[in-house]
Chains A and B, each alone.
Chain A
Amino acid sequence: MPSTQKPPLAGAALDPTAVRPPIDDAAVQRVAPSELRAVLEERRHEGYTMLLDLGAVDYLRRAPRFDVVYHLLKVQPVAASVSEVGQPARLRILCGVDENEHLPTCMDLWKSADWAEREVYDLFGIVFDGHADLRRIQMPVDWEGHPLRKDYPMRGPARERSPRPAFAGKSNVVAGTPPVGRTLEALQEEVKRAREQ
């Protein structure tokens, strides 16, 4: 029985995409940030009409630190049955980008890049120049930090519990103490009386 449990390769965490086993899931292309825009435009005109997904990966100890990953799909933009659609092709474009580096937006090539780029910005802090509306999408607008970065902790710091609200307008109630007449002593007294009867 061949074992699938192999020890991790040394330094694999730095760049798993480089030691990837030959898996036929998509064509892979790696580009530099400076030529990203030109490559995307070229692919768009080649017929990659759909931006399937746009995500990012944080390789904390690698330089450049992040990979922004574009998944493209080649489909004809006309109504077509299964036989006419033919064989759509997938393409994965990886673009290494450093912490303070910006990337050009591709919102004008694929409209769906709008939310995808906002999400990458929100969760990784990668800025897309030229995006019309780059603000947080999943996290609240006043959130600090970018949660999917590897140096962002899995759990938040322990916080003090907020104080319990007082019962406004009820003079017989003080927050934290039971109302008069329902104290433990009063209850025991009540039980005692009931037993004696």
Chain B
Amino acid sequence: MTFSSVLPAPDVVSQSGNTMVLSMGPQHPSTHGVLQLVLEIESENVVKVDPEIGYLHTGIEKSCEGLFWTQAQTLVERMDYLAPSSNALCYALVVEKLLGITDRIPERAQIIRVLQMELTRIASHCVWLGTHGIDLGAISVFFYCFDLRENILDLQEAAGGARMHPNYIRVGGLNGDLPDGYLAKLDALIEKFPGRMRELRGLLQANPIFQDRTIDVGILSPEEALAWSVTGPALRASGIAYDVRKAFPYSGYETYDFDVPTRIEGDAYARFLVRLDEMDQAMRIIEQCRKRLDAPGPVVIDDPKVALPPKETIALSMEALIHHFKLISEGFRVPPGDVYQAVEGPRGELGYYIVSDGENRPYRVRTRPPSLYNLQALKGIGPGNLIADLVVMIGSLDPVFGEVDR
């Protein structure tokens, strides 16, 4: 069945009046990836926006159905490639809920998970801020941001072994404990961060060109934001302090002391301020994590049916060897059921709706990608603005196309 058998192809191209149709992207540098905008314009004014997505569709949801529960974990990290830990954590939480082991995850693993989430949030906002600055002609911000991000990627590499996709958070806990010297590096980052944030704010916050380009651009009212299912910093910049970490706490977020920054203006500048404040709050949580990390403890659940046994026991214990072999060769089975679980990713509510049919592979992995819904709001806020302002709006909504197209 092709689409023409259902409805005729919609007439996006309306040639009445003085409008013309302009295709922006998918190779346009300010579209942050592979986004095509089919614009209907009247001179410089946008009459209609129709974002075309799917250029990066890789079928991750389908591929997950053919992989073991643990193998799928490495794949979901590839969706939001700027914040891999948020995907990994959400997936792990869902599988743990289905397995019924949520309350058996060790305390230290929970702390390190929160630490990874907040580090990845800062790293993701660094990329957003740097590229948003470049879109508006402020090149130097990019270098400051990427320097800070590089420190965080170093920490990710030290913990998980890879810079971009550490695959550190696993079902049942973590891949391993933090390595020696990690906490010293973390302390250095905590010390460096306030100064670096002062520099970032100094470069843009009071910059008259930046303010001219962003203030009153792309205003989202609270009603509109909810109607378009906008979440995360974009929703909080419209005044609604909905944050999954506060509304539906997970991994012990209810024990941390942090604020949810909000603004009421709802424009691109408000979204910029909310994200900057969020970086400060993330560092507040990281400092609290750092204090709790002094006490040693296990970082993975003590259940050989779910988590791999420690490497050193394999040579000594027959049971450990068998468990290792079974987990690698056929994975673990998950009781049948369906669960929706969400985490507060850097872009908003990142949710997974996963169905298990009792086998060693997920039956269905449905992602709720925050970028998809945030980007869709462009259809609402785009018309009536200049083409140049669309670039600001895309930047301020911060879509990641690995996640939009999946």
Contact = CB atoms under 8 A, between A and B. Distances in A.
A120 to B, nearest CB: 10
B363 interface: yes
Contacts of A55: 353, 366, 368
Contacts of A152: 62
A92 B248 CA distance: 15
Interface string A145-162: 011100010100000000
B285 to A, nearest CB: 15
A129 B303 CA distance: 49
Contact of A81 (B262, B335, B357, B364): B262
Interface stretch (A34-42, A109-117, A166-174, A181-189): A109-117
A78 B247 contact: no
Given A4-B305, A135-B7, A78 B222 contact: yes
Contacts of B305: 3-5
A97 interface: no
Contact of B99 (A4, A87, A146): A4
Given A1-B303, A112-B376, A12 B336 contact: yes
Given A4-B101, A84-B241, A16 B57 contact: no
B341 A25 contact: yes
Contacts of A131: 7
Interface string B227-254: 1110000000011111100111000000
Nearest to A110: B227
Given A55-B353, A77-B223, A112-B373, A23 B339 contact: yes
A12 B363 CA distance: 11
A46 interface: no
Q: Is the interface of A mostly helix, strand, loop or mixed?
A: loop
Nearest to A75: B242
Nearest to B331: A5
Interface string B79-112: 0000000000000000001111100000000000
B361 to A, nearest CB: 11
A163 interface: no
Contacts of B1: 125, 146
Contacts of A138: 53-54, 57, 405-406
Given A50-B226, A138-B57, A20 B337 contact: yes
A51 B242 contact: no
Nearest to B337: A20
A176 interface: no
A111 B227 CA distance: 5
Contacts of B228: 111-112
Contacts of B306: 4
A139 B23 CA distance: 19
Interface in B345-388: 349, 351, 353, 355-359, 363-364, 366, 368, 372-373, 376, 379-380
A140 B229 CA distance: 25
A19 B379 CA distance: 41
A43 to B, nearest CB: 14
Contacts of B223: 49, 77
A90 B242 CA distance: 13
A17 B337 contact: yes
Given A6-B333, A7-B333, A17 B359 contact: no
A137 B9 contact: no
A82 interface: yes
B242 A85 contact: yes
B2 interface: yes
A92 B340 contact: yes
Contacts of A4: 99-101, 303, 305-306, 332, 335
A37 B304 CA distance: 47
B366 A57 contact: yes
A110 B225 CA distance: 11
A23 B338 CA distance: 9
A142 interface: yes
B305 to A, nearest CB: 4
A21 B337 contact: yes
A23 B262 CA distance: 32
A134 interface: yes
Contacts of B357: 8, 12-13, 16
A175 B108 CA distance: 62
Contacts of A85: 240-242, 247
B54 A139 contact: yes
Given A80-B239, A115-B372, A139-B57, 6 more contacts: A4-B306, A4-B332, A7-B358, A16-B363, A52-B342, A133-B10
17 contacts: A4-B305, A4-B306, A5-B305, A6-B333, A6-B335, A7-B333, A16-B358, A25-B97, A26-B340, A52-B229, A57-B364, A79-B238, A88-B242, A111-B227, A125-B1, A146-B1, A154-B66
* List of 6 A-B pairs having minimum Cβ-Cβ separation, nearest first: A79-B239, A8-B358, A112-B229, A20-B337, A16-B336, A12-B336
